[in-house]
Amino acid sequence: MANLSLESVNACLRAMEYAVKGPVAVRAGEIEKEMQQGVVKPFAEVTRANNGDSHAMGQKPITFLRQVVSLCVTPSLLDDPKFPEDAKERARRLLAGCKGHSIGSYTDSVGIEVIRQDVAKYIHERDGGVPSNPDDILLCAGAAEGIRACMKLLNQAIDGKKPGVMISVPQYPLYTASIAEFDMFPVNYYLDESQNWGLDMKELKRAIDESRELCNPRQVLTRENIQDIIKFAYQEKLIVFADEVYQHNVYAAGSRFHSFKKTMIEMGHPYDKMELFSFMSASKGYMGECGFRGGYGEIVNMDPDVKKILLKSLSAKSCPTVLGQIAMDVVVNPPRQGEPSYESFEKEKAAVLGSLAERAKMIADTFNSMPGFSCNPVQGAMYAFPRLELPAKAIQAAERAGQQPDFFYCMSLLEETGICIIPGSGFGQVPGTYHFRRMHRRALPPWAAVSRLASPRCVRGLRRNFAMSAAMQKNITLENMSLCLKTMEYAVRGPLVIRAGEIEKEIQQGAEKPFSEVIRANIGDAHAMGQKPITFLRQVVSLCVTPSLLDDPKFPEDAKERARRLLAGCKGHSSGSYSDSAGIEVIRQDVANYIQERDGGVPSNPDDILLCAGASEGIRACLKLLNQTIDGKKPGVMIPIPQYPLYTASIAEFDLHAINYYLNESRNWGLDMKELKRSVDEARGICHPRALVVLTKENIQDIIMFALHEKLVLFADEVYQHNVYAAGSQYHSFKKTMMEMGHPYDKMELFSFMSTSKGYMGECGFRGGYGEIVNLDPDVKKMLLKSISAKLCPTVLGQVAMDVVVNPPRQGEPSYESFEEEKAAVLGSLAERAKMIADTFNSMPGFSCNPVQGAMYAFPRLELPAKAIQAAERAGQQPDFLYCMSLLEETGICIIPGSGFGQVPGTYHFRTTILPQPEKLKDMLKKIQDFHFMFLERYK
pLDDT band at 211 (very low <50, low <70, confident <90, very high): low
Q: How many whole angstroms separate alpha carbon 348 and alpha carbon 360? A: 18
* C-alpha span between 77 and 631 (Å, rounded): 61
Cα separations in angstroms, 747 against 5, 174, 598: 14, 35, 20
Using the predicted structure, report yes or no on whether residue 478 has a pLDDT greater than 70: no
**Around Cβ 844, how many Cβ atoms within 10 Å?**
16
pLDDT for 615 beyond 60: yes
Percentage above 90 pLDDT, the chain? 30
Q: What span, in angstroms and rounded, lies between the C-alpha atoms of 191 and 186?
A: 15
Average pLDDT over residues 71-99: 94
Rounded to whole angstroms, the Cα distance separating 350 from 383 reads 19
Q: What digits encode the pLDDT tens for the residues 910-927? A: 888 888 888 889 999 999
At residue 256, does pLDDT exceed 80? no
Is the pLDDT score of 12 beyond 80? no
Q: Is the pLDDT of residue 72 over 60?
A: yes
Residue (of 791, 726, 804) closest to 762 by Cα position: 804
Structure confidence at residue 220 as a pLDDT band (50, 70, 90): very low
- Per residue, the 3-state secondary structure of 86-103, as one string, reads HHHHHHHHHHHCCHHHCC
Residue 44: per-residue pLDDT: 87
pLDDT at 830: 87
| pLDDT grade for 15, boundaries at 50, 70 and 90 | low
For residues 735 and 752, the answer to whether their CB atoms sit within 8 Å is: yes
d(CA 275, CA 271): 9
pLDDT (average), residues 817-844: 90
CA distance 531 to 528: 7
- Please state which of the ranges 73-77, 153-157, 339-343, 365-369 shows the lowest mean pLDDT: 153-157
Confidence (pLDDT) at 218: 41
By CB atoms closer than 10 A (0-12, 13-18, 19+), residue 853 is middle
Q: Cβ neighbours of residue 346 under 8 Å, at least 6 residues apart?
A: 335
Q: Can you tell me whether residue 757 is helix, strand or coil?
A: coil
Q: Of 159-173, 226-240, 680-694, give the lowest mean pLDDT range.
A: 159-173
Q: Which domains does the chain have, with CATH numbers?
A: 12-56+349-444 (3.90.1150.10), 106-339+454-465 (3.40.640.10), 491-517+823-938 (3.90.1150.10)
CB-based contacts of 474, cutoff 8 Å, min separation 6: 275, 301, 302, 303, 306
pLDDT of residue 454: 26
Among 692, 704, 686, 710, CA closest to 626: 692
Q: Give the separation between CA 168 and CA 459, rounded to whole angstroms.
A: 9
Q: Report DSSP letters for 735-748, one per residue.
A: HHHHHHT-TTGGGS
Q: What value does the mean pLDDT take over residues 807-829? A: 93
Residue among 220, 218, 303 at smallest CA distance from 474 = 303
Cis peptide before 744 (omega within 30 of 0): yes
Q: Is the pLDDT of residue 313 over 90?
A: no
Asked if 675 and 640 count as a contact pair (C-beta separation under 8 A), the reply is no
User: Residue 437's beta-bridge partner residues?
Assistant: 422
Q: Output the average pLDDT for the chain.
A: 83
Cα torsion 673, 679, 682, 688: sign: negative
77-83 average pLDDT score: 93
Query: Which pLDDT value is given to residue 10?
Result: 57
Q: Quote the DSSP letter at residue 50.
A: S
Write down the pLDDT at residue 3: 61
pLDDT band (50, 70, 90) for residue 125: very high
Q: Say which range, 119-123, 295-299, 381-385, has the weakest mean pLDDT.
A: 381-385
Among 25-39, 355-369, 445-459, whose mean pLDDT is lowest?
445-459
How many Cα neighbours within 13 Å face the side chain of 181? Answer: 25
Nearest to 770 by CA among 785, 753, 786: 753
The rounded distance, in Å, linking the Cα atoms of 809 and 814 is: 8
Whether residue 166 is predicted with pLDDT greater than 80 in this model: the reply is no
Instruction: Please confirm whether the linkage preceding 270 is cis (ω < 30° from 0).
Output: yes
Comparing 313 with 195, the larger pLDDT belongs to 313
pLDDT band, very low/low/confident/very high, at 448 (cuts 50, 70, 90): very low
**Among the listed ranges 184-193, 206-215, 222-231, 239-248, which one has the minimum average pLDDT value?**
206-215
Q: Using 50, 70 and 90 to split pLDDT, how confident is the model at 485?
A: low
CA distance 169 to 171: 5
Among the ranges given (183-187, 484-488, 751-755), the one the predictor scored with the smallest mean pLDDT: 484-488
DSSP 128: T
pLDDT class of 806 with cuts at 50, 70, 90: very high
DSSP helix/strand/coil, 907: coil
| CB-CB contact of 756 with 318 (8 Å) | no
Q: 3-state DSSP call for residue 61? A: coil
Q: What is the pLDDT of residue 121?
A: 96
Distance separating the N- and C-terminal Cα atoms of the chain: 59
Three-class secondary structure assignment of 449-465: CCCCCCCCCCEECCCCC
Confidence band for 799, pLDDT divided at 50, 70 and 90:
very high
Whether pLDDT at 713 is above 90: no
Residue 727 has a CB neighbour count (10 Å cut-off) of: 6
Lowest mean pLDDT among 47-51, 195-199, 209-213: 209-213
Of the two residues 790 and 115, the one the predictor is more confident about is 115
Q: Which of 85-89, 708-712, 790-794, 878-882 has the lowest mean pLDDT?
A: 790-794
Q: Is the pLDDT of residue 437 over 80?
A: no
Which neighbouring-strand residues pair with 138? 297
- pLDDT band at residue 809 using 50, 70 and 90 as cut-offs: very high
Query: Picking from 318-327, 493-502, 614-623, 689-698, which range would have the lowest pLDDT averaged per residue?
Result: 689-698
Mean local confidence (pLDDT), 892-896: 90
3-state secondary structure (DSSP) of residue 689: strand
Nearest to 541 by CA among 104, 838, 934: 104
Query: How far apart (Å, rounded) are the C-alpha atoms in residues 571 and 45?
Result: 12
Range of 230-239, 273-282, 622-631 with top mean pLDDT: 273-282
* Radius of gyration of the chain from its Cα atoms, rounded to whole angstroms: 28
pLDDT at 226 (0 to 100): 79
Residue-by-residue DSSP string for 428-440:
---TT--BEEEES
Which pLDDT band, with edges at 50, 70 and 90, does 821 fall under?
A: very high
- Look at 616 and 743; give whichever has higher pLDDT: 743
Q: Give me the percent of the chain exceeding a pLDDT of 70.
A: 88
pLDDT bin (cut points 50, 70, 90) of residue 132 is: very high
> Sheet holding 857-858: strands in order across?
857-858, 910-913, 896-897
Highest mean pLDDT: which range of 222-226, 605-609, 670-674: 605-609
Strand 687-694 and strand 436-439: the pairing is unpaired
* Segment 90-113, tens digit of pLDDT: 999 999 999 889 999 888 889 999
pLDDT digits (tens, 9 = 90+) for 135-158: 999 999 988 888 888 888 777 777
pLDDT of residue 438: 67
Of 6-20, 539-553, 568-582, 722-736, the poorest mean pLDDT is in 6-20
pLDDT of 470 > 70? The answer is no
Indicate whether 131 pLDDT > 80: yes
Model confidence over 644-669: pLDDT tens digits?
A: 777 888 888 788 888 888 888 778 77
Are residues 244 and 455 in contact, defined by beta-carbon separation less than 8 angstroms? yes
Helix ranges (H only) for 317-391 are 322-332, 342-368
How far, in whole angstroms, is CA 243 from its chain's centroid? Answer: 18
Which of 553, 533, 528, 529 has its CA nearest to residue 543? 553
Q: Which of 329, 319, 308, 296 is nearest to 87 (CA)?
A: 329
Confidence band for 69, pLDDT divided at 50, 70 and 90: very high
